[in-house]
Amino acid sequence: MLSEDTLNQVLTTALGGGAEFAEVFAEDVERGSVHLDDGRIESLASGRDRGAGIRVVSGQSTGFAHTADLTERGLLAAARAAADAARRSGSGEVRTVDLQRSTPTPGAVAVPPGDIDKATKVGLLQRADEVARSQDDAISQVSARYADNRRRILVANSDGVLSGDDQTRTLFSVSCVASGDAGLQTGSESIGLSVGFELFDRYDVEELARRAAERALTKLNARPAPSGTLPVVIGPGSGGVLFHEACGHGLEADLVKKGASAFAGRLGQQVASPLVTLIDDGTMDDEWGRYAIDDEGNPARRNVLIEDGILVDYMWDGLRARADGRPSSGNGRRQSYRHLPMVRMTNTYLAGGQTDPADIVASVEHGVYVAKLGGGQVNTASGDFVFGMVEAYMIEDGKITAPLREGQLIGNGPKVLQQIEAVGNDFEMGPPGTCGKDGQGVPVGDGVPTLKVQELTIGGTAA
């Protein structure tokens, strides 16, 4: 996107007032999406966004400016603005930057989504709509969405880093509403990977539509969720959102440094059951949170955070790692060139264990099986959380029985880690997600095997 000569001039200008660090982040994003609702195409959109953000650090102060003007003139103006915003030493020292280009390997894309005509993408949604409605007359509404995104980035900084990445992501989702005596019940399915249109060689949109419709139909005959404290078995895949929210954010170094984490000051301590190994891995092939470099130019890494119950590390961005005299963990991420990077998760998951999932369910006399978790809220300082149970069932005499209407799962992240009694051998990654933090959203993945928690509070309506 930018020549090395231009980058050198911009960095030199940014450092001219005596700043200790400067960075250029350039981005070029192409997006496409199609949305179908109630049998009609509601929107068909495409767009492109290009620009650069300039960050300048002087002491404890950071200046930041962004521009959509990628000419040398526009970039130099942004560099001067960022330098002025930082508290400069005023020494006037001129530093020369020796950029060292690296060439990380981007994710492989077999079929670029931009090469596929819009009619083909619309056809996917129409097939999903038809199949979902054919499952039962009770299906009263179907909504489906297709989206693709190609993001090319370039990072150069005063440490000599010059690197780039080419990231493509493709997503498909379908949501159904079923109407019956129990009112309106919903079911949904989504797939998303860091691949191109070949996503649909791996997944059948008709099967996704069937599963979404069946989930909604099953809830029509569901009974109210119980209320009280019970053993809980969480199924593979989507239960990973529990660890992302309730534990993952508390392991981000910026929150740890602010004292806003329940895990602050606990490195080397037993913080979880010995069955728990928690990993954040930005290198996972094709997964939604995968990339070659983070948004500070550092290579993505596989970071073990908790190993056999022991807290061994946090996640780090570049500046916080520099202040602590250690390398970045490759977790510096930003929503776009208009935003500053911060510590963010990538693909966060609980590693698989040795136990047969059937044996885990059989060990529960009376409890709840959560097949799919929805969104929730968490207090990172205390670890307290509330999550919606999108799909759940009773466990009675060691067997999964009646479906339950949506209720809440209530607990405390650090306590849940200690109360994990069994971990299955059926690890799966869950559906694609967008993680929000301080007003920024970035793509993330999460996953778990089947696991058993000794007890959690169920917020249901049953007497």
Q: From residue 36, give the alpha-carbon distance in Å to each of 43, 154, 207, 272.
A: 7, 35, 17, 44
| Residue 99: predicted pLDDT | 67
| Least confidently predicted of 80-94, 135-149, 214-228, 274-288 | 80-94
CB atoms within 10 A of CB 45: 10
> If pLDDT is split at 50, 70 and 90, which confidence band does 89 have?
very low
* High-pLDDT (> 70) share of the chain, %: 97
Lookup result for tokens 């009376």: 366
Per residue in 19-33, pLDDT tens?
A: 999 999 999 999 999
Mean pLDDT over all residues of the chain? 94
CB 315 within 8 A of CB 336: no
Instruction: Please work out, in degrees rounded to the nearest 5, the angle formed at the alpha carbon of residue 264 by the alpha carbons of 261 and 265.
Output: 170
Per residue in 205-245, pLDDT tens?
A: 999 999 999 999 999 999 999 999 999 999 999 899 999 98
Per residue in 401-455, pLDDT tens?
A: 999 987 899 999 999 999 999 999 999 999 999 999 999 999 999 999 999 999 9
Helices marked H in 86-117 — which ranges? none
> If pLDDT is split at 50, 70 and 90, which confidence band does 196 have?
very high
Per residue in 341-380, pLDDT tens?
A: 999 999 999 999 999 999 999 999 999 999 999 888 889 8
- Contacts (Cβ under 8 Å, ≥6 apart) of 83: 13, 14, 15, 16, 17, 19, 22, 56, 63
Per residue in 241-270, pLDDT tens?
A: 999 988 999 999 999 999 999 999 999 999
